[in-house]
Amino acid sequence: MTILVTGGAGFIGSNFVLGWLAQSDEPVVNLDKLTYAGNLQNLVSLNGDTRHVFVQGDFGDAALVQSLLARQQPRAIVNFAAESHVDRSISGPSEFIQTNIVGTFTMLEAVRAYWGALDAPAKASFRLLHVSTDEVYGSLAKAEAAFTETHRYEPNSPYSASKAASDHLVRAYHHTYGLPVLTTNCSNNYGPFHFPEKLIPLMIVNALAGKPLPVYGDGQQIRDWLYVRDHCSAIRRALQAGQPGETYNVGGWNEMPNLDIVHTVCALLDELKPRADGKPYKDQITFVTDRPGHDRRYAIDARKIEQQLGWKPAETFATGILKTVQWYLDNQAWVTNVQSGAYRDWVAKQYGAQPAA
């Protein structure tokens, strides 16, 4: 028995692979293109572990995916592969269209052919779990009810529009071809191995470097924050017990404005790693021009996955953010390698060209 994980060297994917192998001996075939956000140093603890098979490649490479499926015969696929940074999608949307839409379609075609050739028991037990985002639902007013699984899709950025398209393709392959798919739509993740272009790691890294802490607009954009390891446990549970064709929203029940997040990070750093001059880190906060089309509020109603699958987050925001800030303080070498790009050189030296598994 084996599972295939796409995008398993990225932030959420690597946390999933580590969590999976910490609680199961079922091997993982990890397919990752190793773009700027894919980092095999996230998985260095698995070096020499025969349960982890890494393959460098694109999930939109039909021949490669077909070969992997034929050789490895996975009983499930978890699809994390995506371009995911809103700012990058605004400045360069074409990669998001290519990866999130065309790549997903190409993978679905390969998976459909593979699944269709399985024997009846394997066909019945096979699952494809597609990991998506709450951003496909658009923006909420402050008093509006949180997103449920039946909320209308209203994406507002090239990133969220491309993810919405991928969700629709996954749904269509279930309803048209019977492919046993599951979709999870998560809120904002945070935790270990988060590339420091996103809010929380950027604030930690900039604060420690004495740089400005840039906050968009008035900082009152509200997000629901989900500790990444809680998200991974939800995916494991959905893969285990979710019903094919269903969507499950995964959230942390932690709605907070961005400015409050930044103040919380600053207060923790004041306690754990005080500035040499004794001043508070919040003095480094700088308000910058808001980004185009910035959604005002996201909020996830995660009652369905709790009621139907028995999952709920283990971490509060207070416990999760403390673990996150401490991880970045304890892993400065990882941060330095990511910022300098040295992690890319390390991958080339450590692994070289990756043969298809």
The answer to whether 134 and 302 have CB atoms below 8 angstroms apart is no
The answer to whether 314 and 250 have CB atoms below 8 angstroms apart is no
Report pLDDT for 292: 85
Rounded Cα–Cα distance for residues 79 and 146 (Å): 25
CB neighbours of residue 129 within 10 Å: 23
Rounded Cα–Cα distance for residues 357 and 353 (Å): 12
Label residues 76-106 b or e (16+ Cβ within 10 Å = b).
bbbbbbbbbbbebbbeebeebbebbbebbbb
> What global pTM score does this model have?
0.93
Angle value at C-alpha 53, between 246 and 181, nearest 5 degrees: 10
DSSP code of residue 344: H
DSSP code of residue 356: P
- DSSP secondary structure letters along 62-86: HHHHHHHHHHH--SEEEE------H
Sequence ranges of the domains in the chain: 3-191+225-252+295-315+334-351
Rounded Cα–Cα distance for residues 189 and 200 (Å): 10
| Residue at 122: amino acid letter | A
Report pLDDT for 346: 44
Rounded Cα–Cα distance for residues 266 and 273 (Å): 10
- Closest CA relative to residue 203, chosen from 284, 272, 257, 274: 284
- Which residue numbers are catalytic? 134-135, 159
Report pLDDT for 350: 43
Classify domain 3-191+225-252+295-315+334-351 by CATH architecture. 3-Layer(aba) Sandwich (3.40)
Each residue's pLDDT, cut to its tens digit, for the chain (357 residues) gives: 999 999 999 999 999 999 999 999 999 999 999 988 899 999 999 999 999 999 999 999 999 999 999 999 999 999 999 998 788 898 899 999 999 999 999 999 999 999 999 999 999 999 999 999 999 999 999 999 999 999 999 999 999 999 999 999 999 999 999 999 999 999 999 999 998 878 999 999 999 999 999 999 999 999 999 999 999 999 999 999 999 999 999 999 999 999 999 999 999 999 999 999 999 999 999 999 888 888 899 999 999 999 999 999 999 999 999 999 999 999 999 999 888 876 566 445 543 443 334
| Residue at 27: amino acid letter | P
| Residue at 301: amino acid letter | D
Rounded Cα–Cα distance for residues 231 and 251 (Å): 8
DSSP code of residue 44: G
Q: What is the token pair recorded at 62?
A: 């039909």
